[in-house]
């Protein structure tokens, strides 16, 4: 009998009354770490009701007080950084270095939330008409919700609830059922930081719980990160219910390699950007577009990727860990096989990779294809595994056209020593996040995460200034004050009684 994760409702960690559970398995061994309860409808309702009640007092709490609590939370996250990373490694399979990066990028967003007072400043204009001033405030929305994916169980929840709560909202978190142990630990540290009860609720489950959340009339805004088809469902349903919604979804990220690029830098960067974290990043480079003579570097890139070996989270020699589940592995292997059948050349095939000591692990070795065309399934679908596709282009203009025709627009990068080429690329590319000699251009949290096209549904992006805008509403005041008595003349005075 395995332990069952608690729910976090109204400031207490509670055992769920649900009899329906989902096992959380170590992806390297298939050993069950814990069971995730699928919260009952009554428990979800209790969480939302608690959050709604807590909002009434929390919205009146001065922003410096909210920031001080967030500073305490930030400190606790730093103190428990490695502990969080180890929990994360166990349930995701990530190697320890990747897991630590996952936690740290979340902490950076909490640091930004500590600056909430200046982030929520409004605007003022004096004398917009005679004796009339206009100014604006940014005020919280109410109860917000976040639905987060398996691939970054620390970073992405921390993209959401700290900023929303710092803005004066309360928050319902529904983490991925595949690795909820890390989010529960985040909630425990939040509780330890001394926040008032009811500000954060953690509800476990799957589609049933998600649908209850996105249809609930008391929830004002929804944040989501995950697959495109789920994101479309959440966006349509949430907006049909007149909610504010942001959905960060699928990706097919391209790296363009110009002939004048620094070859050793290209090779070093493309290896980690393509197969690092087992390719389970929404910003992973999955397509390398070689312009002109740079295609001659493909054999060296293949040799470098071939040296990267999957392994356990605490194996310092491992380049990445297993993929999250047997179902994810089966889907990746199916796409690799489909790529071969459609005529792409599988130069490096990780389909049969296995660790003899852990044969049950969800292992997929690094893989590389050449001869890929836009009509192939491996190009059209997001593989979300350690698979790099290579394509060739005669010119930068042709490479830009190829990328712009792709339905996704999450991230892209160019490697070049030409400022002119870089500027042409950044200006003409129809992708929200662009790296110049930077393979994975995820912005620091004082900017916003800005995917385009089918990589994002909504109007305001995640964290940064747009995140604050997403979790607040602007109120504009136009004011005029009348004097009870005015004495006019060279020595005019105003009497206020």
Active site residues: 282
Between the alpha carbon of residue 455 and those of residues 175, 432, 439, the distances in Å are 20, 9, 18
Radius of gyration of the chain (CA): 25
- In DSSP terms, 136 is beta-bridged to 476
CA distance 187 to 80: 13
Q: Which structure tokens are listed for 176?
A: 């991925």
Strands 285-291 and 219-225, by their bridges, are: unpaired
DSSP of 64-129: HHHHHHHHHHHHHHHHTHHHHHHHHHHHH---HHHHHHHHHHHHHHHHHHTTHHHHT---EEEEEE
* ∠ CA 410-252-378, rounded to 5°: 170
Residues in the chain: 497
DSSP states along 229-264 = HHHHHHHHHHHHTT-EEEEE----EEEEE-TTS-HH
SS3 60: coil
23 three-state secondary structure: strand
Beta strands in 280-377 (DSSP E): 285-291, 345-348, 367-370
Return the structure tokens found at 4.
């069952």
Which structure tokens are listed for 392? 């060739």
DSSP character at residue 415 = E
In angstroms, rounded to a whole number, what is the distance separating the alpha carbons of residues 166 and 111?
A: 11
Cα 167 from chain centroid (whole Å): 19
């Amino acid at each position: 009998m395995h332990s069952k994760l608690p729910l976090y409702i109204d400031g207490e960690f509670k055992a769920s009354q649900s009899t329906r559970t989902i096992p959380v398995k170590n992806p390297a061994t298939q050993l069950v770490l814990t069971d995730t309860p699928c919260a009952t409808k009554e428990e979800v309702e209790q969480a939302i009701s608690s959050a709604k009640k807590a909002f009434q007092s929390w919205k009146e709490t001065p922003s410096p007080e909210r920031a001080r609590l967030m500073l305490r939370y930030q400190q606790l996250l730093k103190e428990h950084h490695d502990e969080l990373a180890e929990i994360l490694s166990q349930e995701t399979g990530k190697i320890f270095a990747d897991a630590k990066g996952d936690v740290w990028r979340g902490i950076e967003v909490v640091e930004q939330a500590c600056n909430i007072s200046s982030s929520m400043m409004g605007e003022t204009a004096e004398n917009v008409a005679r004796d009339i001033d206009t100014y604006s405030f940014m005020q919280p929305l109410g109860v917000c919700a976040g639905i987060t994916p398996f691939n970054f169980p620390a970073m992405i929840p921390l993209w959401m609830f700290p900023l929303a709560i710092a803005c004066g909202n309360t928050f319902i978190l529904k983490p991925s059922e595949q690795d909820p142990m890390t989010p529960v630990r985040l909630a425990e540290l939040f509780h330890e930081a001394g926040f008032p009860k009811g500000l954060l609720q953690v509800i476990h489950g799957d589609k049933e719980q998600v649908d209850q959340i996105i249809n609930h009339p008391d929830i004002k805004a929804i944040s989501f990160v995950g697959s495109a088809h789920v994101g479309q469902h959440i966006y349509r349903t949430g907006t049909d219910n007149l909610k504010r919604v942001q959905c960060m979804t699928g990706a097919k990220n391209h790296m363009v390699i110009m002939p004048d690029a620094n070859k050793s830098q290209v090779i070093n960067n493309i290896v980690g950007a393509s197969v690092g974290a087992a390719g389970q990043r929404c910003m992973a480079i999955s397509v390398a577009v070689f312009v002109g003579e740079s295609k001659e570097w493909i054999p060296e890139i293949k040799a470098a990727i071939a040296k990267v070996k999957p392994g356990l989270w605490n194996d310092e020699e491992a380049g990445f860990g297993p993929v999250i589940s047997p179902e994810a592995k089966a889907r990746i292997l199916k796409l690799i096989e489909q790529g071969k059948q459609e005529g792409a050349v599988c130069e490096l095939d990780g389909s049969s990779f296995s660790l003899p000591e852990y044969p049950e692990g969800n292992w997929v070795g690094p893989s590389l294809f050449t001869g890929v065309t836009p009509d192939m399934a491996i190009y059209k679908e997001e593989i979300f595994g350690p698979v790099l596709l290579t394509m060739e282009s005669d010119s930068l203009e042709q490479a830009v056209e190829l990328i712009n025709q792709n339905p996704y627009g999450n991230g892209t990068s160019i490697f070049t020593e030409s400022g002119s080429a870089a500027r042409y690329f950044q200006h003409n590319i129809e992708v929200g996040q662009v790296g110049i000699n930077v393979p994975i251009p995820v912005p620091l949290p004082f900017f916003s995460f800005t995917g385009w096209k089918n990589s994002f549904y909504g109007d305001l992006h995640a964290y940064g200034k747009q995140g604050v805008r997403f979790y607040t509403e602007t109120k504009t005041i136009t004011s005029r004050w009348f004097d009870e008595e005015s004495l006019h003349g060279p020595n005019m005075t105003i009497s206020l009684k």
